[in-house]
Amino acid sequence: MTVLYGDQFDSPCGQISIVFDELDRLYHLDFPDQGDRQQKLLAKRFGVVELKQARSDVIRSALKAYFDGKYGALRKLSCVQGGTDFQRQVWDKLCEIPTGETWSYRQLALEIGNEKAVRAVARANALNPLSIIYPCHRVIGSDGSLTGYAGGLSRKEWLLRHEGAILAAL
């Protein structure tokens, strides 16, 4: 059995749920209003998980700084991604999308060097356990539409507006 710690708190884009270890390494960031996604992904990753309630001031502080417009604060967090080699490659590449910009799933596939992997890239994006930290919200449809975000499309739009992405083309 894996023992981890969980915390929930309000943010400008709704309630956030985080899962971390005793060293404040972040394993999961999600939105509790989106159902049992967090529990399913943790179970797939770890099997049986004992989640103890605790507070991480380190993670909360970095997220508060992000919501206050200090976008680089998230890069200072220690994160444990999990996932396959391919998923980690996609998630790492998400961090190269500049704040205030968006890429299409096709562009993301090209950036990892596999233009035929658009659907696999979209699936990896959907399974990202560290929303906001690995900014999957910056990925949009090739036609410029907001598509597929585990936190909900209204939250995706909020995050893109917060970061100053140009939404007129969306």
Residue 13 known to be catalytic: no
Alpha helices of 5-127 — where are they, by DSSP H? 37-46, 57-67, 85-94, 105-111, 118-126
List C-alpha distances in Å: 159 to 5, 27, 31, 89, 156. 26, 21, 13, 23, 5
Catalytically annotated residue among 13, 79, 95, 136: 136
What is residue 63's three-state secondary structure? helix
Query: To 10 degrees, what angle do helices 85-94 and 118-126 make?
Result: 80
List the catalytic residues.
136
